[in-house]
Amino acid sequence: MTLTIRPARTEDAPALGRMGAALVRLHHSYDPERFMTPEEDLESGYRWWLSRELKRQGAVVLVAERDGRVVGYAYATVEARDWNALRDEHGELHDVWVDESERGSGVGAQLAEEMIRRLRAQGVPRVMLMTAAKNDAAQRLFARLGWRTTMVEMTRELKDSETD
Ligand SMILES: CC(C)(COP(=O)(O)OP(=O)(O)OC[C@H]1O[C@@H](n2cnc3c(N)ncnc32)[C@H](O)[C@@H]1OP(=O)(O)O)[C@@H](O)C(=O)NCCC(=O)NCCS
């Protein structure tokens, strides 16, 4: 059973919508206040967004295909210098998803490594990403592939009872 990592095509849109929506729901489950509430038709929204991004220069959408079936994807963009965040131009890895039945056999690592190759070809000096504090599996994957921790995001909720 061969695994292929390739650029996403228009016909991958339904699979991208399904996986992107699953990724949003996973994050919402980690912390429902920090990670926005999934909309009703999240699949369609994500399908529309990634279908647009896969045609855009400066964005990269890859899929992992096993025997003709899409089982994972990764999405990244090239970002300009940002003085607020003190970041020079870089690649930003936004999404990596591997279907549960395919996890633990290197699909995630292959998606990430192919993404690195493609972002390097676009001339960026580094690739940055955010992972949820509770997402141990993702943190292990990215640390194993050479990412280091550089920022810690913190969130404080402003409750009505705190107003004066
Ligand atoms: C995080 C995620 C992308 C990892 O994908 P994956 O395909 O399971 O990743 P890998 O198989 O490369 O690595 C996972 C584990 O399998 C092990 N592994 C890798 N290749 C292997 C192989 N050939 N044989 C056996 N085990 C292997 C790795 O050592 C790793 O072990 P660890 O969990 O102890 O670190 C996947 O769990 C996922 O989709 N999670 C939900 C979405 C998510 O959290 N995305 C990241 C944030 S955007």
DSSP-derived secondary structure letter, 87? B
pLDDT on residue 163: 60
Q: Is the CB of 137 within 6 Å of ligand 1?
A: yes
Q: Is the CB of 130 within 6 Å of ligand 1?
A: no
Q: Residue 130 falls within a domain, yes or no?
A: yes
pLDDT of residue 159 exceeding 90: no
Question: What does pTM read for this prediction?
Answer: 0.96
Q: Residue 138 falls within a domain, yes or no?
A: yes
DSSP track, 128-141: EE---TT-HHHHHH
Q: Is the CB of 95 within 6 Å of ligand 1?
A: yes
Q: Residue 25 falls within a domain, yes or no?
A: yes
Q: Is the CB of 22 within 6 Å of ligand 1?
A: no
Q: Residue 152 falls within a domain, yes or no?
A: no
Q: Is the CB of 107 within 6 Å of ligand 1?
A: yes
Q: Residue 96 falls within a domain, yes or no?
A: yes
- Mean of pLDDT over the chain: 96
pLDDT on residue 39: 87
Find the mean pLDDT for residues 58-77. 97
pLDDT > 70 in the chain, percent? 98
Q: Residue 123 falls within a domain, yes or no?
A: yes
Q: For residue 125, is it left (φ>0), alpha (ψ between -120 and 50) or beta?
A: alpha
Give the distance from CA 141 to its chain's centroid.
13
Find the mean pLDDT for residues 78-104. 98
CATH number of the domain that 87 lies in? 3.40.630.30
pLDDT of residue 162 exceeding 80: no
What is the 102 CA–ligand 1 centroid distance (Å)?
9
DSSP track, 30-79: H-TTTSPPPPTTHHHHHHHHHHHHTTSTTEEEEEEEETTEEEEEEEEEEE
pLDDT on residue 164: 58
Tell me the per-residue pLDDT of 101-154, one tens digit each, with 9 for 90 and over.
999 999 999 999 999 999 999 999 999 999 999 999 999 999 999 999 999 999
Q: Which of 105, 134, 140, 144 best tests ligand 1's pocket when mutated (most atoms within 8 Å of CB)? A: 105
Q: Residue 27 falls within a domain, yes or no?
A: yes
Q: Which domain holds residue 55?
A: 3-146
pLDDT of residue 160 exceeding 80: no
Q: Which two tokens stand for residue 47?
A: 């399908």
Number of domains in the chain: 1
**Residues near 34 by beta carbon (within 8 Å), at least 6 away in sequence:** 155
Q: Residue 160 falls within a domain, yes or no?
A: no
Closest to 102 in 3D by CA, of 21, 28, 31, 3: 3
Q: Are 97 and 22 in contact (CB under 8 A)?
A: yes
